[in-house]
Chains A and B, each alone.
Chain A
Amino acid sequence: MSGKRLVRMTVNGSPVEEAVEPRLLLSDFLRQVLGLTGTHVGCEHGVCGACTVRVDGSTARACLMFAVQAEGCRIVTVEGLGPAEALSPLQEAFREHHGLQCGFCTPGMLMTALDLIEKYPLASDAEIREGLSGNLCRCTGYEHIVAAVRAAAQRRREPSS
């Protein structure tokens, strides 16, 4: 099971180079090798969305990828959004609207929400809910998450307001 392979990628803007087993999941690579524990793991079978990260500009489930498959990719994790003392507008919207309780689904939720507000018009709540349907939250009942995404999308459309 040894036979490590070298893998290179950019994570949150920094170049990374590590020798890893080919079977190492991207989620474990981020959490255990790089110590970026913001990306969470809730199922490891692609359903809960807690492990959602950005790979070359698209959302991906880090539990469904091997680290070696990310060779040469640009990865963004929740740690790349904004630090605790300078949250991004999307993170702020989640705080303002109480879009998190235990915070465990939150990193994945934020990564999905970022993709949604950047790529879709999000004209209705139904559209927001549909867009979030790949991320499970057991705490919030989604109501406040929807409100946070709605506010963040609005703010993106009308930055001054």
Chain B
Amino acid sequence: MTEPVETLAARPKSVGARVRRTEDPRLLAGQGRYVDDLAPPRLLHVAFRRSDMSHARIRGLDLEAARGAPGVVAVVAAADLEGLAKPLVAASRMASYHGTPLRPLAEGKVRFVGEPVVAVAAESRYLAEDALELVDIDFEPLGTVIDPEAAAAGDAPLLHEEIGTNVLVERRFRRGEPEAAFAAAAHRVGGSFRFRRKSPGAIENRACLAEWDAGRGALTLHSASGIPGIVRDALSEALDLPGHRLRVVAPDVGGSFGGKGSLYPEEILVSLLARRLGRPIKWTSDRLEDLTATSQAFDEIVEAEMALDAEGRVLALRAEVLGDTGAYSIYPWTAGLEPVQVVGFLPGPYRIEHYEAHVRAVATSKAPTGPYRGVGRPAAVFATERLMDLAARKLGLDPKEIRLRNFVRPEDFPYKIGSGIVWDRSGFTECLEAACARAGYPALREKQRQARAEGRWFGIGLASYAELTGIGSKISVAPGMPINTGTETAVVRIDSTGGITAAVGIASHGQGLETTLAQVVADELGARLEDIRIVQGDSDAVPNATGTYASRGAVLAGGAAILASRVVREKLLRAAGHLLEAAEADLEARDGRVTVAGTDRSMSFREIARAVYSEIGRIPHDKREELEATRLYDPYYGTTSSATHVATLEIDPETYRVTLGAYLVAEDCGRIINPMIVDGQVHGGVAQGVGAALYEEVVYDADGQNLTASLVDYLIPSAPEVPPMTVLHVEGELPATLGGFRGMGEGGTIGAPAAIANALSDALAPLGIGIDELPATPERLFRLIERAQQRQDNQSTGEER
């Protein structure tokens, strides 16, 4: 029987509706349960003494005074943990790759400011921090490795001597004949684009709490994590504990954006100590620790050049990318995660026949970079969309027109871009047209002409992009990573009271999956939304899981939930057939009841469940079957989400402050489960893109000190800095994923930096300024403008002479 996407479409009810969220009442009443809210009896608290050196050998440690401090139960350094945990190394199939060990505490040397060296466990966090002051570490400095270009050079100090180089990954991509295409091109544009380092900045800092049950030999780790399944599997290996004695729970989690999407030393440490000390033990990061030791983001230099023919059609693209990935290759994603994907996504939604790219990921003595909303795509889109605008300028074309000329056209799908990624049908052109229509693009241009005539710096920026979401098992979400990220499992069950539970392996940290997945299950089962509970964020819920990342939750968990629900529905109808003495084909399930079509004979799910499980003689004894199913879903390829962003802005000539006007996003994310939630995801993503474009930057000085280790220095946008936004949904042809869903959690952050960079460049075009470094802070804008004005002054005085 083939029954693809259509079941949902035939009975659309909950899916597509603006359903209020199930998780809201508890969160609004202060009844959420985040990790730091948990306080089991006899709880101990951990504080870390972290490295204040960028790169140094640990010559000696004096822990005695700290061990004697009031309330202190244990003080440990790496030597005290020997043999307790196997070091984990993020693996990759890439030939040039070098992994680095992940250890709970620094061993032998430190490689970034903020790396944990000593852990103190005490009766309270206050007492633990008191004792930290008594820890004495003797460091021997080894020379900082700050500048990525210097780090990649042969004579730089080595962070990992055993590897013999600071270059952790190196790859080349090539398609067609780029040299010939460049030689034959009518036009060329190029630039060096620098996307500075970011911090994910979830408002809840990371936290983890481990409990050892000595009687059962079992460990439970509560962690503010987006990947409890991956953490479970990794800890199982590190601690040599099977999964049925090791449970990882991500309860309510206060945002991640990728910062809670990797395995961390602190998670291993509290697990070890809980087992060793026989008491529950918790660590809650403070903001200083978050800004220095949570994975950071982006940080690439992208040198790129584009070749075009006389009509503005892109013939070829080439790029040299250097990614500054910090001190370690993040587990499990590897150091290739971010920079290799920059190169993977550079060709964007355009037909570009010839492509060549070289990418290196280089280790520096800074916090490791890891996943952050958009991963690789924000920097790629920044470079490619700047090149598109530079080309448009050079050829005298409108930015909209040059994009239309180069998009992959409807008849070209599926289209393989130069890096090997395949775009399935997605509304590239439709999004751009819809965005420009809604924004009133010609009127905006007119407004700009007037502003320019008045000498104001008003700019309009477009950015179009495509991204791969809901990635199945064909490729890993991190290039070369051998872990399967392409499947999800759902267990759907109707219990003997009629309660419906759907358990999935993903972990919500704000996405509202408890609501959207319930919508999917409700439609598939014919159940009432309020009768469904979603269990997520718990490694015990399903046999295998990884977590929520890479815009996969709705596609993968939604798909698995659809498959499992269909089986449960069949079982339910079979049972109802016996009970109602009707042919299954005559039964329909709706609103939590099964009805014999065309009659008033019906039973509620609850009555059927009771009859199936609890009542004697209602169902033939050999026909009883549990109303439960476990199904795995693998979309195999994944699907393409796309969008066009339109930013408008004005630069204040006195303060160089940028004020954004109404912001517009037109996106194709397939079938929408809950438009309210989709809009919220886009808004949040755009706000992070605004931060990335204008405010946020992690700054390390030459000594490797982090100069942005508080929220006073690391500027997260607040409400006045974020513009009002409009989101248009362009629902074109549905993708082949079950349910027709596409991922959409990250797009806002992918498009906004490029759109804003283009708008700034557009505003400053009369001065000949193009933005090639983000964030474009007032200080950077001031310098660019001052230099440009001097240049113009010199020219005009030159002309007068």
The answer to the question of A87 belonging to the interface, with a C-beta cut-off of 8 Å to chain B, is yes
A151 within 8 A of B: no
B683–A106 touching, CB < 8 Å: no
Partner of B27, one of A24, A42, A103, A138: A103
Taking a contact as CB atoms under 8 Å apart, the answer to whether B28 and A91 are in contact is yes
Most buried by A among B21, B24, B34, B720: B24
Q: Is the CB of B126 within 8 A of A21?
A: yes
User: In angstroms, how far is the closest chain B Cβ from the Cβ of A150?
Assistant: 11
Q: Give the distance to chain A from B45, nearest Cβ to Cβ, in Å.
A: 10
| In the assembled complex, B61 has its CB within 8 A of some CB on chain A | no
A77: which B residues are within 8 A, CB to CB? 30
Known: A1-B70, A101-B511, A138-B201. A79 touches B30 (CB 8 A): yes
Pairwise interchain contact B203-A48, C-beta atoms closer than 8 A? yes
CA distance A111 to B167 in the complex (A): 49
Contact A138 B684 (CB under 8 A): yes
Distance from B708 Cβ to chain A, minimum over Cβ atoms (Å): 13
**Contact status B126-A95, CB under 8 Å:** no
A42 pairs with B511, CB closer than 8 A: no
**Of residues B130, B680, B711, B722, which shows the largest number of chain A Cβ atoms within 10 Å of its Cβ?**
B680
The yes or no answer to A69 lying at the interface (CB within 8 A) is: no
A43 and B287 in contact, given A1-B130, A101-B512 (Cβ under 8 angstroms) = yes
Question: Does A129 sit within 8 A of B, measured CB to CB?
Answer: yes
- Taken together as a complex, chains A and B put the C-alpha atoms of A102 and B252 apart, in Å, by 8
When A101-B684, A106-B28, A142-B683 are in contact, do A126 and B720 touch as well, CB less than 8 Å?
Answer: yes
Chain A residues numbered 104-124 whose CB sits less than 8 Å from any CB in chain B: 104-107, 110
- For A91, the chain B residues whose CB sits under 8 A away are 28-29
Asked if A104 and B720 sit within 8 Å, CB to CB, the answer is no
Indicate whether A36 reaches chain B with its CB closer than 8 angstroms.
Answer: yes
Q: Does A140 contact B (CB under 8 A)?
A: yes
Verify A40–B34 contact, CB threshold 8 A: yes
A130 to B710, CA, bound (A): 22
Report the Cα distance A79→B28, complex, angstroms. 9
Q: A40-B204, A84-B31 are in contact. Are A133 and B718 (CB under 8 A)?
A: yes
Instruction: Please indicate which of the listed interface residues B28, B127, B686, B718 has the most CB atoms of chain A within 10 Å of its own CB.
Output: B28
Complex contact A102–B720 (CB within 8 A): no
Known: A39-B30, A42-B203, A100-B28. A47 touches B711 (CB 8 A): yes
Residue of A nearest to B202 (CB): A138
**Which of B30, B39, B718 has the most C-beta atoms of chain A within 10 angstroms of its own C-beta?**
B30
The reply on B23 being an interface residue by CB < 8 A is yes
Interface membership of B716, Cβ < 8 A: yes
Q: Cα distance A72–B204 when bound, in Å?
A: 30
B36 within 8 A of A: yes
Which residues of chain A are within 8 angstroms of B724 by Cβ–Cβ distance? Answer: 125, 143, 146
A-B CB pair tally, cutoff 8 Å: 194
Q: How far is the CB of A72 from chain B (nearest CB, A)?
A: 24
Residue B328 at the A interface, CB < 8 A? no
User: Within 8 Å of chain A (Cβ to Cβ): is B496?
Assistant: no
**Contact residues in A for B688 (Cβ distance below 8 Å):** 138, 141
Residue interface mask A47-91, B partner, CB < 8 A = 1: 110100000000000000000000000000111011111010001
**Which residue from chain A places its CB closest to the CB of B20 in the assembled complex?**
A95
A125's nearest neighbour on chain B, judged by CB, is B724
Q: What residues of B have a CB within 8 angstroms of the CB of A138 in the complex?
A: 201-203, 255, 257, 684, 687-688, 716
Q: Which residues of A contact B436 (CB under 8 A)?
A: none
Residue of A nearest to B726 (CB): A143
Question: Looking across the interface, which residue of chain B has its beta carbon closest to that of A102?
Answer: B510
Say whether B31 contacts A38, CB under 8 Å.
yes
Which residue in A94, A98, A141 is a CB contact (below 8 Å) of B722? A141
Interface string of A5-42 (1 = CB under 8 A from B): 00000000000000001011000000110011111111
Report whether A87 and B31 are in contact in the complex, using a CB–CB cutoff of 8 Å: no
Residues from chain B with a CB closer than 8 A to the CB of A136 are 203, 711, 716, 718
Q: Does A137 contact B (CB under 8 A)?
A: yes
User: Does chain A have a CB within 8 A of B205?
Assistant: yes
Is B204 a contact of A38 with CB atoms below 8 Å? no
A139 in contact with B255 (CB, 8 Å): yes
Q: How many Å lie between the Cα of A91 and that of B286 in the bound state?
A: 28
Q: Is the CB of A134 within 8 A of B718?
A: yes
Q: Could you name 8 residue pairs across A and B whose Cβ atoms are closer than 8 Å?
A: A43-B710, A103-B254, A129-B719, A136-B203, A139-B510, A142-B683, A144-B680, A146-B724
- A-B CB proximity, top 7 nearest: A38-B30, A104-B254, A103-B27, A102-B510, A141-B683, A141-B687, A101-B510
Residues of chain B whose beta carbon lies under 8 Å from any beta carbon of chain A: 20-21, 23-34, 36-37, 39, 70, 126-127, 130, 201-205, 252-255, 257, 286-287, 509-512, 676-677, 679-688, 710-712, 716, 718-720, 722, 724-725, 748
